[in-house]
Each structure stands twice: as C-alpha cells, then as structure tokens.
A and B are shown apart, each in its own frame.
Chain A
Amino acid sequence: MKTKKSPWPRVALYLFVFVMCVVILYPYFVMFTTAAKSNDEMYATGGSLLPSVWQWSNFIDIWREAPVFKYLLNSIIVAGGATFLAIACGIPAAYALSRMRFKGKGIFMGAVIMSQMFSPVVLLVGIYRLMTAMHMTNSLIGLVLLNAAFNQAFAIWLLRGTFTSISSEMEQAAKIDGCGTVQALIRVLLPVSAPGIVTTLIFVFINSWNEYTIALTLISSDLLKPITVGINVFYGFNFIKWQYLFATSIFATIPVVILFLCIEKHLVAGLTSGGVKG
C-alpha cells in the first residue's frame, strides 16, 4: 500500500507504542501482584515486585468479606438499565433531529450540550433532593434514571451522527412500500445503524458502570451498592485492605474489558458514522 519511505518514523512510532503499552499495563501488573500479597508484605519498604508468597486466598476471601457478587450484580443492573433507557429515549430524539425540520432544533441541541456542563458531583444536593421527592433515594431504579439522563446527551449526539450519515432513501422506499415512519425506523434504519448503536451502548454502559459519586450519596443499603461504592468497605476507619481492594477491582474490571473486546470492531465503525458529522 505504502511504497517507500524512511524507516525511522516507523521505528519511533513503534517505540512509542511499546512505551505506551508498558505505562498502561503497569498499574494492572501492580494491581494483580498486590492483590496476591499478604498484609505484612504490603507495607514492607524496600518492597517486593512479586509477592514472596502468592496469597491466592485473597481472591477467594473477598467474596466472604463483603457481598462482592451482589455489588457486581447491582452494577450490571444499573449500567444495563441505564443503557437501555438512554438508548430507548435517545433513538427517537436523534431520529427527529436528523430527519425532521422544526422550530427550536438549535435550542434543543444547545440544551443537550448544556446538560453536560454540570458534573453530577456539582448537582449532588439537588439530585438528592429530587430523588427524595420521588422516593427513590435508596433504589437502583433511581440510579438507572439518573445515569440514563446524564448520558442522554452523549447518546443523542452519537445516534444523530449515525442517522445523519445514512441516506434516507431506503426509508422512503420502505414508506412507499407501505411502512409507517416507526416501522421504517425499526425495520430499515436501525439495522443499518447497528454499529452506531453498539458504540452508544458501550459508552453509556461504561459511564454508568464507573459512576461513583451519585451512587455513593444515594444508596444507603449495603446490598444495593454498585461495585464502585461497594469496594469502599475495604477502606475503613482503622485499616485499608489494599490487597482486597485490588482483588475486587480486578473482578470489577474484567467484565467491562471482555465486553469491550467483544465489541471493539463495531466501536470503531460506529464512531466513524457518529463522529464525522458532529
């Protein structure tokens, strides 16, 4: 494909990639080796790179020390629910924005971007008050709604880009064949937009999976905590159980990495359609 050029830029770039990979992987190496250390070894100065004794029991102990499985399940429910809701609300909005003309379109787009300007941390008190009024302070449904809302802008932006990049001719043809708008959307547009939808799905899922501050403030029962908040039990009044903290972190990371790796191809394809048209 590319015929002749100096080899040096290439070598430099590969070196760069190698260094990046080392830097990126290093914390995971630390996380893994630390998770397998005994408590005393943790604080040994002149410390060891690898555990002198691999304490595999740490990986088993965490399930007994705290309801880690429940935490993971809660995270899945919250992230899954928020993703579904954000996309279910985002699709019609993105469709209207890409296929219809109407007054206030610019204002709406502006409002969508504005809604991202406040981080949830800033709004904590307001959010808590609202959730109290809705009787959702200690509920996963509250978290689902909030995460969906705070990811709505991103979902709309990505989906709108996807829809805009797809010609509307197919839908029109379908309509002439007797489909309604909704049917044309579902049968024609959505299948073609699959990569964009998958991308949106991943983004929202990850953002919700990683959300910390809202869950921290809203959820009071131990058994309703998502994993990001749940691992706080290893960070207590008189102790920090680094090895448990890290062992649990590994279990919290693996599902997302797997999800990512499965969908990575779609991700790039989806960003293309979403990204080109802002």
Chain B
Amino acid sequence: MKENAKPRTLNMRRLEPYVWLLPSILLMGVMILVPIISVFQTSFSEISKSGVNRGFNGVTNYLWVFQNATFWNTLLNTVIWTIVVVGLSTILGIILGLVLNEKFHGRKIVRAIVVFPWATALIIQSVIWKYIINADYGALNALLYKLGIIKSYVNWTATPGQFFAWECFVGILVTIPFVTFCVLSGLQSIDTSLYEAADVDGASFWDRLFKVTLPLLMPSLTVSTVLNIIYVFNSFPIIWTISKGDPADKTHTLVTYLYKLSFTNQRVGEAAAVSVIGFLILAACASVYMVMTLRAEKEEE
C-alpha cells in the first residue's frame, strides 16, 4: 500500500468524479439500461402470441408498424396530445403562478388547492373523471341538470374527438400544478427593483408582463417544459383508464397503443418497435435541447 501510494493517489484524483457518480450509474445502468437493451432486442425479434421468442426477424416488426394505419393516426394523436397538454397547461400554469405570487385574501388556501391534483395518483384522477363524464349515471350531467343548465342529458363522449378532448382536459388539469410551482419559484428570484424601474418608466401591466416577468421566467419555464414534454409524451394512465384508445383505436397515443399491441393483441415484437420509434422521436427533440444547453454552458464558462 505504502510503496505505490503515489501513483494510486494520482489515479484516484482523476477517477474521483467517476467514483462520485458510481452509485447513480449503477442504479440507472442496471435498472433502466438493461430493460432498454431488451426492448431494442425484442423489436428485432419474432415473438409468438403467447410470448415465446422465435429469434431475429430483421425489420419485419417495423414494417408491420409503418404499414398500419392506426399507427399513423396514433402518431398524430401523440403530437396533438403533447402539444395541447404541455402548451395549455404551461399557459394556465403561468397565469395561475402569476396570480398566486400576488398578495390577496385566501392565497394560502388557493395554493393548497392547487397542490391537490399533483398529490393524487393519476390513476385515481383518471377513474374519477371517467365516472364524472359518464353520460348515463355520471356526476357532470347530474350537476348540470340540477342547476338547470341542460334540459336533457348530454352524451359527452359520443365521438372519438370528444373522448380525446376530455383526456386532454384531464391531462392539462394534472399538469398545471407542476408548472405553477416552477413559475412561483422563478418569480421569487426576480429582483423587485426591476419592477420599480419599469413603473418609473410608466410601463403598463402588459409591458411589465411581457418585458420583465416572462423573459426572466424563461430559464425555469424551459426546464419545466422539457420535463413536461417527456412526462406527457409517455403518459399512460389517463388515456388507458378513460378510453383504452377506443372507439376504434382512434384515441391512442404511442404508449397506450403499444400497451394494447403488446398485451391485448399479443404483438409484443411490434409493440417493442413502436416503443423504439417513440424513443427516437423523443431523443431527437431532447438532443436539440441538449445541444442548446451545452452551448449555453460553454458560453458561461
């Protein structure tokens, strides 16, 4: 030990950062990387109906997926779903965050209320909404009827489009709290003297909002948006609970579609191909973000 203390120290110094990273790498490497590899493998294999692996079959699974009209419709849905949910929840979350940053009576109560959708399991939220919008015995029709707003029961889910709109609505509702809190925290770090300066310049409410507040919120918003895109893109319980992708497979997103392929239609290989495709799409989006942040960091240093 003593004889070669010097070279070891040198090694340790260079290795040190990696040693710090080791627990994290171990955890993610084993628990996430291994399953990812097996998904890639599966996507190039023929898997029988009952789940037996019959070996390599090239890109057959991918071809099957690309030739399937439902896949393209699903892809379109996924894009709409991600943009609508992330977009609207970001806008609403920003407004809510701005309001909650003001001082008013009952602010604490409102902040507590905003926490609720976040603290409730998605699966539970989805089940409640499925029950609420049921046209025959659901709570929404009963409420509107009692209030005299509707004269007879409305079928809220007559078309796939309506189903999908409700699913987007629930998606937005459960995503808002996260954005709100990111905005609230971002607002705290804004120097109030900037507002005072703006007031001196005679800035209007909108000037203050668009020229001071929003630009300074951008860093926290970028991060929350990137994370939201990933989470929403991969979101499963809402759609699966409310419509399972039906009617006629028209309300799927990639994740529910591949779940149905894999577990209802027993097409495991094809499902794996869909998940690889989804991964590639997300990875493409993320690499744009990565390039941007890395460049920003280089400029910083």
Given contacts A23-B173, A118-B275, contact A257 B236 (CB under 8 A): no
Q: Are B262 and A125 in contact (CB under 8 A)?
A: yes
Which one of A14, A114, A242, A276 contacts B99 once the chains associate, using CB atoms below 8 Å? A14
With contact pairs A13-B95, A30-B128, A46-B145 given, residues A123 and B39 touching in the complex (Cβ less than 8 Å)? yes
| B197 is an interface residue with CB less than 8 A from chain A | no
- Count of inter-chain pairs, beta carbons less than 8 A: 280
Considering only CB atoms, which chain A residue lies closest to B36 in the complex?
Answer: A118
User: Once the chains bind, are A278 and B223 in contact (CB under 8 Å)?
Assistant: yes
Q: How far is the CB of A32 from chain B (nearest CB, A)?
A: 10
On whether the beta carbons of B121 and A5 are closer than 8 Å, the reply is no
- Asked if A117 and B17 make an inter-chain contact with CB atoms under 8 angstroms apart, the answer reads no
Which of A25, A95, A245, A252 has a CB less than 8 Å from the CB of B116? A25
- Enumerate A200-244 residues with CB–CB distance to B below 8 Å: 206, 209-210, 212-213, 227-228, 231, 242
The 7 A-B pairs of least Cβ separation, nearest first, read: A126-B35, A119-B234, A271-B185, A149-B31, A96-B20, A126-B38, A275-B220
Query: How far, in angstroms, from A112 to B289 measured CA to CA in the complex?
Result: 13
Closest Cβ of chain B to A209, distance in Å, is: 7
The complex places the Cα of A45 from the Cα of B278 at a distance, in Å, of 42
A276 and B127 contact, CB distance less than 8 A: no
Binary contact track A1-33/B, C-beta < 8 Å → 1, others 0: 111011001100110110011011111101100
Among B17, B113, B118, B222, contact of A278 (Cβ-Cβ < 8 Å): B222
CB pair A92–B24 under 8 Å, yes or no, is yes
Q: Given A253-B120, A276-B189, verify A260-B115 contact (CB < 8 Å).
A: yes
A129 interface hit (Cβ, 8 Å): yes
Q: Is the CB of A253 within 8 A of B121?
A: yes
The interface-forming segment of B58-66, B67-75, B129-137, B157-165 is B129-137
Contacts of B145 in A (CB 8 A): 46
Are B222 and A117 interface neighbours, CB within 8 A?
no
A1 CA to B184 CA in the complex, in Å? 18
Given the contacts A30-B132, A249-B124, A271 and B182 also touching, CB distance less than 8 Å? yes
Bound Cα distance A146, B278 (Å): 21
Counting CB contacts under 8 A, is A189 at the interface?
A: no
Min Cβ gap A66→B in Å is 15
**A83 at the B interface (CB under 8 A):** no
Q: Determine if A24 and B117 form an interchain contact, defined as CB atoms under 8 angstroms apart.
A: yes
Contact at A126–B39, with CB atoms within 8 Å? yes
Q: Could you say which interface size class chain B belongs to? A: 35 or more
Residue of chain B at shortest CB distance from A216 = B123
A121 adjacent to chain B (CB < 8 Å): yes
Contact B21 A108 (CB under 8 A): yes
Besides A5-B205, A253-B124, A278-B223, 6 other CB < 8 A contacts? A17-B100, A23-B173, A27-B132, A89-B24, A105-B17, A249-B127
Does A148 count as interface, using CB distance less than 8 angstroms?
yes
A14 neighbours in B (Cβ, 8 Å): 99, 104
17 A/B residue pairs, CB under 8 Å, sorted by A: A24-B116, A95-B20, A96-B18, A100-B16, A101-B17, A110-B290, A118-B35, A121-B255, A122-B258, A125-B38, A129-B35, A149-B30, A228-B121, A253-B121, A257-B115, A272-B220, A275-B182
Residues of B141-184 at the interface with A, using a CB-CB cut-off of 8 Å, are 141-143, 145-146, 153, 173, 176, 181-182, 184
Q: How far is the CA of A205 from the CA of B19 in the complex (A)?
A: 26
Q: A93-B24, A130-B34 are in contact. Are A212 and B123 (CB under 8 A)?
A: yes
- In the bound complex, residues from chain A placing their C-beta under 8 Å from that of B220 are 271-272, 275-276
Which residues of chain B have C-beta atoms less than 8 A from A97's C-beta?
Answer: 21
Which listed residue, B17, B32, B36, B189, touches A272 by the CB 8 Å rule?
Answer: B189
Q: Once bound together, how far apart are the Cα atoms of A176 and B293, in whole Å?
A: 34
Known: A13-B95, A14-B104, A249-B124. A49 touches B31 (CB 8 A): no
B110 A21 Cβ-Cβ under 8 A = yes
Contact A115 B99 (CB under 8 A): no
Interface string of B277-301 (1 = CB under 8 A from A): 0110011001101100110000000
Q: Select one of A115, A212, A242 contacting B237, CB under 8 A.
A: A212
- Checking A1, A25, A30 against B139 with a beta-carbon cut-off of 8 angstroms, the contacting residue is A30
If A30-B131, A34-B139, A113-B286 touch, does A85 touch B27 (CB 8 Å cutoff)?
yes
Q: Which residues of A contact B86 (CB under 8 A)?
A: none
List residues 5-54 of chain B with CB under 8 A from any CB of chain A.
Answer: 16-18, 20-28, 30-39, 42
Are B17 and A102 closer than 8 Å at their CB atoms? yes
Q: Are B188 and A92 in contact (CB under 8 A)?
A: no
* Cβ of B204 to closest chain A Cβ, rounded Å: 8
Q: Do A123 and B35 form a contact, CB below 8 Å, given A245-B127, A267-B181?
A: yes
Encoded as 1 (CB less than 8 Å from any A CB) or 0, chain B from 229 to 245 comes to 01000111100000000
User: Which residue of chain A lies nearest to B256 when distances are taken between CB atoms in the complex?
Assistant: A121
Least distance between A112 CB and chain B CB atoms (Å):
7
Distance (whole angstroms) from the CB of B161 to the closest CB of chain A: 21
- Shortest beta-carbon distance, A84 to chain B, in Å? 12
From A55-63, A150-158, A167-175, give the one contacting chain B: A150-158
Assembled-state Cα–Cα distance A94/B61 (Å): 39
Question: In the complex, which residues of chain B have a beta carbon less than 8 angstroms from the beta carbon of A126?
Answer: 34-39, 42
Binary interface encoding of chain A residues 130-158 relative to chain B, with 1 for a CB under 8 A from any of its CBs, else 0: 10000000000000011011101110110
CA of A3 to CA of B208, assembled, Å: 13
Q: How far, in angstroms, from A152 to B23 measured CA to CA in the complex?
A: 11
